[in-house]
Structure 1
């Protein structure tokens, strides 16, 4: 392409390219203004510069343009571009295409685009889309970025179809993914993506009602996924993600009322923070996930959770057991009873030295299990609960025994049973006679020497049966305690 074939605006860009000088067309309005011929540059001219532009010894060529209207299609598919590309505050009439290209650095900050197609590209520096307005799809699937990916303050609106508005599947970023304040309508796809640094979605606003708003299965993050004050409408799917640092959702708003709001199943997470802000609207799914520290406020929980095979080492903040148990009662893990969830909560309380709360969780576990038993099992469970609280309230057994001992002692003191062998029977003691009836193992020689009649005989049967029940439940509780220790 000859320079004589160029418009005045294009000549400015052509001459500045050789030395990497910036050409700024924002003389009328930095935000756009009138996009007339004096600010228009054909995409073909930019392509010719980048692929076969002039060069001078000792100068570093670069394409640096601000405030221009790029007409036509900037097609650099599978091209090898050795110069920096910086097109800021520009307006693209057509979607620029970089699929399969090898670029040094691409900066489209503050520009307006109908889309961006850069799948399977390789960028040796960073890709900067800060504060861009993109009224279409951004396709970066399989792209390798040696630096960072910047989407801070960007606005991405998909085409409303089934394809993602922001396709980052299988993308590889050797630094951070910075998307603070990102506004996206449509799905953000991060399946199989690898981010060596952190992902920053703080104060982002993501919307895809009734469908996946973030789909990030098998996502790998080297450090943290920070999404404080995130506003997400739709389902966030992190199944199989690996985040060794923290997933920080403090003061976030997650809403998908007719489905799952957050699915973080089969994940490995260093810390998961779910505190402050409104309760989650929709299901919280943490099945088969390993978490080092689960920082979960009880008031953040939705009405439905799935916790089957969830494991965590620490649970914070420390809350009364009455505030934690509803989480287990809401568990909908395709099973009528999930004992593992109760064991995890018990272990968390024990690690903080709160044995009282740990025992209450175990008691709640037995009561939940009782609902799944047949009628006779439920009946026996109620007996154990009333008498000794399934062995987790041993003092209750002592109260029962003392009450029955007092009742029997008074009754038999008022009416001594007749001796079986007069003259050979020991001296009658109403206290030890009652103990003989209550304790099935210990014998004081009283029960075998005297025979009550009438109502007192019925009372003796009641004491014997009650004694067996108490003894059985106490032994069960002691056995359970020993096995725990």
Structure 2
């Protein structure tokens, strides 16, 4: 039987035997089930103040002696060139409560066994770049930094409840099943990135609930086969040199993106890194009757060009955006966008050229003061979670910095599909009034006349009212200025009301054509004819639209 090297300590020899038998090697000072502790806040190596959780807390400054110390090179020896498993056993590294000293380098290596670290403290960063592994679990551990670009795993990679003040790099990594980052606290690297995972491929879910980041979460061109959950997360940009809280341009998510609150009942007192029910709600009470930790971010959010095959859920979220920063959802594609924040983002929201199926929103969720950009934004239907007055919906499409007629037309089309034809006409009427403000002075004057007279054709009742007024004025004038008959030998019965009606409705002969109105009356009659043509045509067109659908 192969023996541990002679220069290994007694502690390391014990790890050798535990590895051969696939057993847990527990170096904690205490006993009983391991309590998976939460890390220090993002950016901190240890917890501030006197907050401690006993001698086995890896996130405090307490000293761990040689009886709990294992060299990184000894662990690397086991993982890369370890002994054969004991008969009837499967070799595995399961280490709890150890201090790992020295350079931990597994870059480019092949790790053929199950690996799990719990409540461990690493003195130096972990180097796993271009390594190949099965399942790797690092849970409730303190480590300065993780370098794992182009890591390839066949199973899960867990980095839950870890404190990593120097950041995580997973660029172009390939995760066979799930990536778990729940409740970890990660600080920034030299470029202001806390988690750099551009180009990562995750076959199933990426769970990062209640993640605490100081620095950018970078997921550009990432591909996630299942869901991406950031429920209850707290993400802060590192500073002015890198103002991004999330940079996930061109991301592809096979199911749902969650930027939402996390139900406290699922996590309070939980002894696992999954909360209760793997992030799902276990409470039967309605959402507003339970307590939640909202998703919070400070800094720019970029999800532009993302593809989300099921939905994007932005609920119970708080976005603190500085000057010039925005929540960028430009050109995203998803069957459903749920935007129901209790408080609106403090900066701009861009949905330019996004393509959505159902838009589920609430009036209070959107920022005001021209901070919503909807250029080319298309959606099939509107499904507000609470009453959304049409006036506020029109203000929503007009909340961009410039006039965009397609935003009004898209809203009108969605309302027609829901059978709200009158609301759709109101929206198109508002579009004409908003367009008027962009015209030069002559165009604005003409627009005011059209608006007052016929409501740009969307208020046919107004045209009919003006028609009646023109007839009444004509009747009054010709009643006071009776014209002479054209032919003295013809005795036509004079009726000023019918005479004025014949001018206002020139296609109808009411038997009053045998009168000569005189020079002044001729101008009045001509004005009545022109007014009648314009207003009657507008009224007929409006009635026709009333009888049409779509």
Which has the higher mean CA deviation after the structures are superposed, 206-215 or 475-484?
475-484
CA distance in 1, matches of 2:491, 2:223: 88
Equivalence for 1:360: 426
Equivalence for 1:37: 66
Within 5 A, what are the aligned runs for 1:113-128?
113-128=143-158
Is 2:395 the partner of 1:326?
yes
Would the alpha carbon gap of residues 36 and 448 (structure 1) be closer, same or farther in structure 2, given more than 3 Å must change? farther
Q: Is the CA contact 1:254–1:261 (under 8 Å) kept in the aligned structure 2?
A: no
Equivalence for 2:109: 79
Which has the higher mean CA deviation after the structures are superposed, 286-295 or 3-12?
3-12
CA distance in 1, matches of 2:150, 2:307: 23
Would the alpha carbon gap of residues 365 and 393 (structure 1) be closer, same or farther in structure 2, given more than 3 Å must change? same
Q: Is the CA contact 2:221–2:250 (under 8 Å) kept in the aligned structure 1?
A: yes
Deviation at 1:425, TM superposition (A): 5.9
Equivalence for 2:502: 436
Match for residue 5 of structure 1 among 4, 7, 11:
7
Does the residue aligned with 1:356 lie in a helix, a strand or coil?
helix
Is 2:214 the partner of 1:185?
yes
Q: Is the CA contact 2:460–2:538 (under 8 Å) kept in the aligned structure 1?
A: no
Does the residue aligned with 1:281 lie in a helix, a strand or coil?
coil
Is 2:348 the partner of 1:316?
no
Deviation at 1:3, TM superposition (A): 3.3
Q: Is the CA contact 2:492–2:514 (under 8 Å) kept in the aligned structure 1?
A: no
Within 5 A, what are the aligned runs for 1:234-273?
234-273=299-338
Does the residue aligned with 2:321 lie in a helix, a strand or coil?
strand
| Runs of 5+ consecutive residues of structure 2 not aligned to the other structure | 31-54, 261-293
For residues 192-239 of structure 1, what are the alpha-carbon distances to aligned partners after superposition, in whole Å with 9 as ceiling and x for unaligned?
A: 111101011100000116511111111111100112131011111111
Deviation at 1:349, TM superposition (A): 1.6
For residues 267-316 of structure 1, what are the alpha-carbon distances to aligned partners after superposition, in whole Å with 9 as ceiling and x for unaligned?
A: 11111111131111111111111100111212211131111111101112
CA distance in 1, matches of 2:348, 2:81: 56
Q: Is the CA contact 2:487–2:514 (under 8 Å) kept in the aligned structure 1?
A: no
Equivalence for 1:200: 229
Deviation at 1:187, TM superposition (A): 0.6
Does the residue aligned with 2:360 lie in a helix, a strand or coil?
strand
Is 2:88 the partner of 1:58?
yes
Q: Is the CA contact 1:391–1:480 (under 8 Å) kept in the aligned structure 2?
A: no
For residues 379-434 of structure 1, what are the alpha-carbon distances to aligned partners after superposition, in whole Å with 9 as ceiling and x for unaligned?
A: 22222211221121111112222222223223323442222332336322211211
In the TM superposition, structure 1's runs of 4+ consecutive aligned residues that sit over 4 Å from their partners are 456-459, 475-485
Is 2:353 the partner of 1:288?
yes
Deviation at 1:462, TM superposition (A): 4.3
CA distance in 2, matches of 1:384, 1:256: 42
CA distance in 2, matches of 1:358, 1:80: 63
Would the alpha carbon gap of residues 331 and 267 (structure 1) be closer, same or farther in structure 2, given more than 3 Å must change? same
Superposition TM-score, scaled by structure 2 size: 0.83
For residues 134-184 of structure 1, what are the alpha-carbon distances to aligned partners after superposition, in whole Å with 9 as ceiling and x for unaligned?
A: 01120101111111000000001113x325210111111111000010010
CA distance in 2, matches of 1:254, 1:402: 55
Within 5 A, what are the aligned runs for 1:26-425?
26-28=28-30, 29-32=55-58, 33-55=62-84, 56-159=86-189, 161-208=190-237, 211-228=243-260, 229-303=294-368, 304-317=371-384, 319-332=388-401, 336-424=402-490
